[in-house]
Amino acid sequence: MYIIQTLVNVLPDPEKPICLNVKYDKSPSFPAGGTFPDFMVSVLSEDDTIIKNINPARISMKMWEAQSGRVTTFSCSKVKDDKEDGFFYFRDKVVPERVGTYMIQFTFAMDKTNMLNSEQIIIEVVPNDPVRLLPDSLPATPAVSNVRAQTSRTLVKDLYLHLMDEYNNHTGLDLVGKIIAKIKSPNEDFEIPQFQGKVNTVEFPLENGSAEINLVLAEDSPGRDSTEYILVFEPHLPALKKPLEPYCLSFMFYNDSKKQQLMATLTREKDQLSKSIDLYRKMFDTTNQLVAEMKCQVKEAETREAVLKNELKKHQIELPQTNTLQYVDSLLKKKMLEQEGVMKQPRRTCTLPNYPKGNQDILGKIAHLAQIEDNEAAKVISWHLASDMDCVVTLTTETARSIFDETQGRQQVLPLDSIYKKTLPDWSRPLPHLRNGRTLFRPIGNPVFARDLLTFPDNIEHCQTVFGMLLGDTIIIDNLDAANHYRKEVVKITHCPTLLTREGDRIRSNGKFGGLQNKAPPMDKLRGMVFGAPMPKLYSTISVQIDLLQQYRAAVIKFDSVNKDLDLHLQSLNTPEMQKRKQELAEQEKSLKLVKQKLGMTPALSDKGAESLLQPIILDISDTPIPPKRMRRDTVKKLYR
């Protein structure tokens, strides 16, 4: 009995995605509200090459906070250069406003159910630069007098002020400085109360971005009875070039302790009303901002639908006024069948086996790098390059050498890093009979550079280097008579390159023609070593139409959805519950005004502090302005924070 063992070499699939490669600048920190560095994402196949021709909509970036787990999804940015095929960029994405640990992960939708995820990127969002001074929580309005009892003279006790960034994150932990407290009067003619010790200012050390504040008025301090004053806390930080906003706290001053106790009760009532009114206002402001955002979404969806409809018209597709979705679905099915039919049509293909792309440095065999639409041109150019068609092109000499060793020297290789590029032809150079925009003689036979008949499915820049070297300025022309006429005229003014005719003849650059070595055989004699034909132009036309129809269908559904959401939200604004809240707010504002009158608060300060509270509550929804994009982004963040 004999046992036969067969070794099967399974080659990696260059079209099967196995992982996502993510590159970004890992050196910078991530301050709250800043901008992330650009993320560059590519999809790698089994043979470790980058897969191209992927719809950017299938690549997304997901980010979530480690604690909350709430996910935010971003789409990739537009490609700036066609040479970046295969790379997907996520540019100008905004860092979250809240400090904490976040996860970022990139996702490739392989199909409707299967997703390919990148490794998770863990980032720490740190506080931004300090801009203001704030307490842990808003303190009550102090009501003090200048009597002997210290409790009646205490302005603030155990008040902690912190350096905060623009997004109210505690910051400046590495800063050292001081806070200077002083009292301001709303009127220059009023006496200014003094702190304990009969001083006008008190300094407090600020360390690790925080300071503890305790302030007491001086006994028998000057000051006008029943007057509102302002405590001003000014931060002084030598390390900062720009001064920070001070924190201000209003307080009421009385000369009578009994009156002070009564007014303290009224002050607490004022503070409670102010907080309640502020909550109502925030709720109504949020409602108005949400309406503005939803209106903007409707406007954007409507514009998107109109733009796509106009694009479809340019591609000879007219849409009916009614039953649009049904018509689009029907037309999509029809176009997909047409596309499938075009794909199945027979076309010229290169049957020469390509070399396995084991790594990214292997571009493939020359026969597979280019395509030619015209059959006669494909035949004569393939024959002209017959000795090079089987050659494997690599990016580096090292890779070429490894292929040479693996095949014991039987495989031709061409490393691009060994090509002297200064002598390569300029692809924008005109034909020899044209100079400075003038025609030196009238050619016959439709001459054209052979290189201009090539199309490159991938690696355009590298392929231009390869075929620029192999073809040079070789020209394709109709027949031998036209070629001889062209050469005879060209040599009068300059050197004439090799001429190939569509009938299969060749006139070398030295003028020699004729003989079997200068005559291309029939196509079937080339044994499949011929450049393939690209997809018919009809295929590209149908593909564009299908893509536009799919985009239009999604735009119509989106427009209908956001319109319905807006209508439902506008209806909710007129419910009895919402009307009741508006009435409650109006009543509380009226009560606040009466309490302030009883307190005898200084009109100038009182009006300034309550100015925003006494304005109309709800904007007319129909006139709600559409905010700019940056404002809308911030609005949405606040709504869902």
| pLDDT < 50 regions, the chain | 602-641
> Which pLDDT does position 261 carry in this prediction?
67
**Residue of 144, 163, 289, 106 lying closest to 221 (CA atoms):** 144
Please answer whether residues 351 and 528 qualify as being in contact, where contact means their C-beta atoms are separated by less than 8 angstroms: yes
Handedness of CA 293, 297, 302, 307 (dihedral sign): positive
Residue 571: C-alpha distances to residues 293, 463, 577 (Å):
16, 61, 12
**Residue of 622, 575, 633, 629 lying closest to 288 (CA atoms):** 622
Measured CA to CA, the distance from residue 145 to residue 226 in angstroms comes to 10
**Angle subtended by helix axes 537-572 and 324-344, to nearest 10:** 160
SS3 label, residue 299: helix
Structure tokens at 4: 């036969």
Residue 381: C-alpha distances to residues 430, 482, 532, 567, 634 (Å):
20, 18, 12, 65, 60
SS3 label, residue 279: helix
226-253 pLDDT, tens digit per residue, is 888 999 999 999 988 888 989 999 998 8
> Which pLDDT does position 612 carry in this prediction?
34
Please answer whether residues 61 and 76 qualify as being in contact, where contact means their C-beta atoms are separated by less than 8 angstroms: yes
Measured CA to CA, the distance from residue 217 to residue 199 in angstroms comes to 9
Structure tokens at 105: 């992960």
DSSP state of 532: B
Using a 10 angstrom Cβ sphere, with 0-12 exposed, 13-18 middle and 19 or more buried, the burial of residue 356 is middle
**Residue of 357, 382, 361 lying closest to 370 (CA atoms):** 382
The residues near 505 (Cβ < 8 Å, ≥ 6 apart) are 479, 480, 483, 513, 518, 519, 520
